[in-house]
Structure 1
Amino acid sequence: MTTSTLPTDAGLLVLRVGVGATMAAHGTQKLFGWFDGGGLDGTDRFFTASGYPSGKFFPVLAGLSETLGGIGLILGLFTPLAAAAILGVMLNAMSVKWGAGFFLPKGIEYEVVLATAAGGLALTGAGGFAFDRFLGLRDYKLAYGVGAIVLAFVAAGITLLIRN
């Protein structure tokens, strides 16, 4: 059963593009230093200071998750996995900033909004204006979204167990 309508599809497109572009840009800051980002070296220093093992693995993982997850959301391509990538990174970001309060500039409100949007998109699917419809995901099933959210929490949990 599909409940897709033109207004719903348009709303999901706007949400996907907004969250996806934000996350893709943020990922390119980590990977390439674009948009005044730290690049891999700066991101590695930040991650190491935040308790992650030194090396490029976690900066590359976070950067790719944000960049590819963001592009996936923009295109509506493999939306459950794209949303899981964003949600997993945001769960880790919240754990790094935990204890600094809720509100910006040091709090977690930004990460909570992005994580909530990613979780919502995982549950709803991409809508009609998306490449997923060509992959047979037009009639989206709640199990896809729940599976994506579980995947994000498991991946984030494993990453956090590795963090000092």
Structure 2
Amino acid sequence: MSRPAAAPEKAPAAPARAYDIGLLVLRLALGLIMAAHGTQKLFGWFGGGGIDGTGQFFAATGYPSPRAFAVVAGLSETLGGLGLALGLLTPLAAAAVAGTLVNAISVKWGGGFFAPQGVEYEILIALTAVTLALTGPGRIAVDRLLPWLRSHRIAYGVAAIVLGAAVAGVTLLLRH
């Protein structure tokens, strides 16, 4: 009687720590960049226009109540960015960032694909935020301390992205 052939050995999977560190680096990069963009809109930091300058831009691109939309965009970017950086309410933070970027893509749409006039940067940011909403923040995140978010569920990510897309859609309808 012959023995069954042994299954080929699989390479060991990367330790979970490597994934968690990778997600932390991604969250910090995206989150802090978005928070900086938000503070440009809200406070004029980092060479931004503040509420007045951002409001003027929003008025020129067809948004009603441009100062109010400047505040909404600034808060979405700042709070969403900080939420991503901390890994706090990650699906909602990611949805805030992605929804804001949907509007940015709409504003820049006629400029082609490639930067600086095109939308490639905005698409990359939006899809990175969607990815974080779906994967979760990893174990090095404040979400791990919240009992109801300890185990990331894809349903949370999907629901948050649907919410972000719906709010972005309503915002775009108001723009025209």
TM-score (norm 2): 0.89
For the residue of structure 2 that corresponds to 1:99, the secondary structure is helix
Structure 1: 5+ residue runs without aligned partners? Answer: none
Separation in structure 2 between the aligned mates of residue 49 and residue 22 of structure 1, nearest angstrom: 25
CA displacement at 1:145 relative to structure 2: 0.6
1:112 positional shift: 0.6
* Conserved 8 A contact 1:29-1:36: yes
Cα deviations by residue, 1:31-83 (Å, 9 ceiling, x for unpaired): 00000000000000100101101341100000000000000001000000100
Equivalent pairs counted in the alignment come to: 161
CA distance in 2, matches of 1:121, 1:82: 9
Q: TM (normalized to structure 1)?
A: 0.96
* 1:159 corresponds to: 171
Between structure 1 and structure 2, the one with the greater Rg is 2
Q: Check conservation: 2:58, 2:66, Cα contact below 8 A.
A: no
The equivalent position to 1:135 in structure 2, one of 146, 153, 156, is 146
Q: Which has the higher contact order (CA 8 A, sep 6+)?
A: 1
Paired residue type of 1:81: L
Task: Specify which of 54, 59, 66 is matched with residue 43 of structure 1.
Answer: 54
Root-mean-square deviation (CA, aligned residues, Å) is 1.0
Contact 1:127 1:138 survives alignment (8 Å): no
Kept in 1, the 8 Å contact 2:133–2:160? The answer is yes
Give identity over the alignment, percent: 63
Q: Give the secondary-structure state (helix, strand or coil) at the position aligned to 1:56.
A: helix
1:88 is aligned to: 99
